[in-house]
Amino acid sequence: MPSLRSSIEFRALLAAFASVLWILVWQSPVDAGIPPVDRHKVVIMPSSLPLYLSLGSPPIEGMLDRDAIHSAIERHFVDQPYFELVPFDAAETLLLESNERRRSLQDAREYLGLGETFFFNYDLDNAINMLKRAEQGFRDSFGALIAREDTARAYQYLAFALLEKSARDPDGLSRADARTALRNLVRHAPDIVLDPERQPEDRVATYTEARRSFLTIAELRQHTREDADSLASALHVDFVLFPRIVQNETGELTFELDIYDHSQDRMEYPTVSLPQTADRDLTERAVDRIDAMLSRFTSCIEPKPLPIPEQEGEAGRVYLDTGFAYYVFLESPTTSPFDNIGAMFAVTYMFTDNLSVAGRFGLAFSGGDKESDLRSTFNTFRGNISLGVSADFEWIRPYFYSGIEVAQPTAFIVTNNQTCKIFDVDDEFCPPGAVHSFDIDALTGLSAAAGFAIGIDPVFVTTEASFAFYVLPTDIGKDLNFPIGFDLGLEYRF
């Protein structure tokens, strides 16, 4: 039997291991680091800055470089650490990656060509029908942003056809639709001017009225939340910006910016006036004011946290373990314990993320004891089935298992007689009854194991401490019992 001292040391070892396991399972790791952040994706539409001039207003004082202002807006977001500007070319390519949008754009251009042909042949009904289909096609394919000239032509000829139809059959509806089409024409082609000497008087008057209402009523210029949301979803961006410069009837210039926040599904419409002074370049002054307005916007936006990848649960996974096994029997026929060294193989199935069932099989070979009582080596076959609980962290999985174990040792011989040890058990000087042969039946009892796996999914290194005690057969006596072991293995997760 083992000494009292060895029993105390064993209990202390188990208590220490249990304490470490409790800390690993129940104590949450402290994350003192700052969570990483991603950059907000921003797209600016259209590719150039629209300038809407009021008909008959005083001329602009100084030089206004729209390209320089548009570049300054882009540069503002390029210089921001938490924003990423999506270039217009990249946005256009992404929009046209959709086969459906490409077909819609192609169909819209074909309808536009047919509509123009019908209009020039004065087939107004067919012209209106084709041009309305073209309008819808450009809308579905974001043609208003990537094919602005074609979209403007569709609205132009649709308005002209509706005005001609209204003149021929004045029902009122055609003229109202014509004014809407002309306002859309102004939106997509702010530089277009109808020459009174070459265009019918009614057409010029209706266009002038539509342009005046478009420049007077801010809501007509503002992009809708629905349209901005569709564009943001198609481009996978966080913010969509629609900048423009508008001149009122007195000649004053205003920078208007439609901002769509995809995460909040919200539109904002900030504006800033652009005073015209003779002592300073108008473009430089406009850039300064616009940059200040953009700074107020970007400074209020919180950094975008990186999306946390959804980790797949452990439920349904299978773990395979194989490795080195070592154990000693605390109760044995020998005066002191002897080593048992071998290999183990285990299969674990996870019912849930934390509950599992495991089957284990091992084979070990006995070594010699200190007093050489064991006169022949033997093998021990061990197998058990257990239920377990575990906690899965990023790179470590502590676990605990308990179940039923069956062990089958082969036959072996033991003697504590010194004469038998010196002259061998078969020698005539070895007294009768001093040699004991053991042919033990299968041992059955309860087992428990605790350990942890360390590594990066799917490969882990496992270390485990185990203990068992056998209750069957009941007449074990001084035979083998109370194995305590340590395993070191490699685990692969499927």
pLDDT at 328: 94
pTM score? 0.59
Mind listing the pLDDT tens digit for each residue in 124-168?
A: 999 999 999 999 999 999 988 889 999 999 999 999 999 988 888
H or E segment and range at residue 214:
helix 201-216
Instruction: Give strand pairing partners of 272.
Output: 255
Residue 477, pLDDT above cutoff 70: no
Q: Where are the alpha helices (DSSP H) in 239-371?
A: 282-299
Prior bond of 50 cis (ω within 30°): no
What does the CA dihedral 52, 56, 57, 59 come to, rounded to 10 degrees? 90
pLDDT of residue 19: 54
Write out pLDDT tens, residues 163-187.
988 888 776 678 889 999 999 999 9
Q: How many CB atoms lie within 10 A of CB 4?
A: 8
DSSP assignment string, 413-470: EEE--HHHHHH-TTSTTS-TTSEEEE-PPPEEEEEEEEEEEEEETTEEEEEEEEEEEE
Distance, in Å, from the CA atom of 224 to the CA atom of 213, rounded to the nearest integer, reads: 18
What are the φ and ψ backbone dihedral angles of 109, each rounded to 5 degrees? -65, -35
pLDDT at 369: 87
pLDDT of residue 446: 93
Nearest Cα neighbor of 350 from 444, 453, 484 is: 453
Tokens coding 32: 């003192």
125-131 long-range CB contacts below 8 Å, 24 or more apart?
Answer: 125/165, 127/157, 127/161, 128/158, 128/161, 128/162, 128/165, 131/157, 131/158, 131/161
Of the candidates 146, 74, 133, 69, the one whose C-alpha atom is nearest the C-alpha of residue 107 is 133
The CA-based dihedral angle spanning residues 74, 77, 79, 80, taken in that order and rounded to the nearest 10 degrees: 180
Q: Which residue has the tokens 């003779």?
A: 278
Show the domains of the chain with their CATH numbers.
42-305 (no CATH), 311-493 (2.40.160.20)
